[in-house]
Amino acid sequence: MALRKEIIERERVQDQLKHQVMHDPLTGLPNRSYLRDRIDRALTPSPAESRQFCALLYLDVDRFKIINDSLGHLAGDEVLKEVATRLSGCVRHPDLVARLSGDEFAILLETVEQPADANAVAQRVMDALAAPMPLGGKELQVTASIGIAIGHDHYLTADEVLRDADIALYRAKELGRKRYQLFDETLARNMVDVLTLEGELRAALKHDQFEPHFQPICRLDDGQVVGYEALIRWNHPQRGVLLPAVFLKIAEDSGLIEMIDWRMFELSCERLQQHGPANTFMTINVSALHLRHDDFDARLLQVLARTGLPPSRLVVEVTEGALLDNPERVRGTLERLREVGIGAALDDFGTGYSSLSYLHSLPLRILKIDRAFVHELGKGANTSTTTTTVVAAVLALARALGISVVAEGIETPIQYAALQAMGCDMGQGYWIGHPLRLEHGRRADRPD
Ligand code: C2E
Ligand code: MG
Ligand code: MG
């Protein structure tokens, strides 16, 4: 009898261990290994029902990192548990909900007859998540992106299905998140392009193929060049000089932009210090990702120390989008930069989430009016009246707050004159000068 009891106890412990190995402790959901086993089994052909396939929904909670960073890990955990509960409510036995890692979940549908069935579940999941989540007195709006792969006959292993669902998920995020995307072969081909470019970007870093070009910024009243904006260019060994439009998005999505930017900051400071005219300042474009690190200002100071450029000659450009992520943290970073003499500029003003309300609370030295506004100026009396009014209002506000204004993208003498007449301090654009290399003590030796 005692032996029997011991056997039962041992089996219980074994089951418990097995459960632990196959489940995620936070949500209690099956984990990746469990899911892989189940996909492998679902892929085994069943002769009876030949027109039925399994489907895998790969789900990623949008901007979960921000939730986690701003509300804390405990709140983050609560969100994940709630997501797990809501996902489980969207499916029936024998379908399976699993947690893969961090904010990644998956749903395995054992049998679907057509892709539309999987899409319908994806839509149900989006709807289930759409209801506000009460959290610590606040209401959180959680959304997710979903990639779907249908387990057709050509899949041999679970990993292949997971890979394709992941590719579709990447595309869903690329299209702006908060949506689902079904995998198809074109996606796979595009993915190869993305991966190739990503690989090339890594190689470019290694071989030092990024270089700043400097676009002059001039004072509008006397035309004097007072500063430069450092703009990244990629000296591609086969494709020549590439503009950021070609590679910036992939650099940002892959996170490589951080390393690329640091290389740019170093080179830009070095070149301005060594070859730039005395007393000119330089603005550098800072990707939003940097502003999530608390040591950004300290690292930037190290670059200045290494290159010998005085902090007073440096201005960091941030966009309104970067502010949205975490306005408090960004303000903190910009304030620490100001304390050591580094200025801040708000880039592309007027394009994004334009809200004049936060302008006064940020330690800004410069406001850069987006070229879309400048483009409208000087087009003829009628079309430009509203734009003129907006620009005049922005100029007045900036003046009241003690912020200088740089107009971007001045392409014609008419635009120049209009901005000058309105009292805009500074400008940059093809009419004033193209981005150029800054070397050998001269402003320019190779145009774009
Ligand atoms: P941005 O900061 O608004 O930079 C101004 C862009 O306008 C530059 O494009 C510049 O070449 C272009 N531009 C200058 N004058 C004119 C003009 O008269 N007309 C028109 N149509 N365009 C003009 P670019 O160099 O292609 O840069 C595009 C964007 O890429 C930049 O926009 C900036 O957001 C980003 N970027 C550039 N360099 C870096 C970098 O080193 N790091 C990061 N993270 N982003 C960068
Ligand atoms: Mg800029
Ligand atoms: Mg800009």
Tens digit of each residue's pLDDT, the chain (448 residues): 788 888 888 888 888 877 778 899 999 999 999 999 999 999 987 665 567 889 999 999 998 988 888 788 899 999 999 999 999 999 999 999 999 999 999 999 999 988 999 999 999 999 999 999 988 788 888 999 999 999 988 898 999 999 999 999 999 998 889 999 999 888 787 777 888 899 999 999 999 999 999 999 999 999 999 999 999 999 999 889 999 988 998 999 889 999 999 999 999 999 999 999 999 999 999 999 999 899 999 999 999 999 999 999 999 999 888 887 778 889 999 999 999 999 999 998 887 655 666 788 899 999 999 998 998 887 765 656 888 888 998 999 999 999 999 999 999 999 999 999 999 999 999 999 999 998 754 444 333 4
Rounded to whole angstroms, the Cα distance separating 392 from 45 reads: 70
160 φ, ψ (degrees, to nearest 5): -65, -40
68 ligand 1 Cβ < 6 A:
no
Distance between alpha carbon 345 and the CA centroid of its chain, in Å? 20
Q: Which of 366, 312, 368 is nearest to 337 (CA)?
A: 312
DSSP E strands: which ranges in 220-298?
225-236, 240-242, 281-285
Distance between Cα 317 and ligand 2 center (Å): 6
At 387 the pLDDT is 85
Q: 420 near 223, Cβ under 8 Å? A: no
Q: Is 307 in the pocket of ligand 1 (CB under 6 A)?
A: no
In the chain, helix, strand, coil percent, each to 5? 50, 20, 30
Ligand 1 contact via 352 beta carbon (within 6 Å): no
343 Cα: distance to centroid of ligand 3 (angstroms): 16
CA dist 171 → 94, 179, 183, 185, 283 (Å): 28, 10, 9, 12, 33
Locus of tokens 């030949």: 50
Q: Please count the CA atoms within 13 angstroms of the CA of 254 that sit on its side-chain side.
A: 19
Q: Left if phi > 0, otherwise alpha if psi is -120 to 50, otherwise beta: which for 435?
A: beta
| Residue environment code for 298-331, b if the CB has 16+ CB neighbours within 10 A, otherwise e | eebbebbeebebebebbbbbbbbebbebbeebbb
List of residues 6+ apart from 34 with CB closer than 8 A: 22, 23, 96, 98
pLDDT at 49: 55
Half-sphere CA count of 318, side-chain side, radius 13 A: 25
CA atoms within a 13 Å half-sphere pointing along the CA-CB vector of 267: 21
Residue carrying the six token digits 């932009």: 257
DSSP string, 279-314: T-EEEEE--GGGGG-TTHHHHHHHHHHHHT--GGGE
- Residues 51, 114 contacting (CB under 8 angstroms): no
φ, ψ for residue 152, nearest 5 deg = -65, 170
pLDDT of residue 162: 95
Whether residue 148 contacts residue 182, with contact meaning beta carbons closer than 8 Å, is answered with yes
Site of tokens 């009241």: 400
Q: Supply 34's token pair.
A: 């469990």
Task: Count CA atoms within 13 Å of residue 3 on its CB side.
Answer: 0
pLDDT at site 382: 60
CB of 232 shorter than 6 A to ligand 1: yes
Task: Output the pLDDT for position 352.
Answer: 62
CA distance 162 to 35: 10
* Ligand 1 pocket check for 268: Cβ under 6 Å: no
Question: Ligand 1, atom 25: nearest CA belongs to which residue?
Answer: 231
Q: What pLDDT is attached to residue 318?
A: 94
Ligand 3 center to 409 CA (angstroms): 8
CA of residue 196 to ligand 3 center, whole Å: 28
Rounded-to-integer distance, Cα 225 and Cα 207, Å: 33
Question: How many CB atoms are closer than 10 A to CB 225?
Answer: 18
- What's at 385, amino acid-wise? T
Determine the residue type at 426: M
Q: Which ligand is nearest to the CA of 430?
A: 1
User: Quick one: pLDDT at residue 374?
Assistant: 92
Ligand 1 center to residue 238 CA distance, Å?
22
As a whole number of angstroms, the distance between CA 281 and CA 421 comes to 24
Residue 443 confidence (pLDDT): 45
| Nearest-angstrom CA–CA distance, 391 and 393 | 5
- The per-residue pLDDT for 445 is 39
- Which mutation among 285, 320, 374 tests ligand 1's pocket best, with the greatest number of atoms within 8 A of CB? 285
Tokens of 350: 């007027």
Q: What pLDDT score does 448 carry?
A: 42
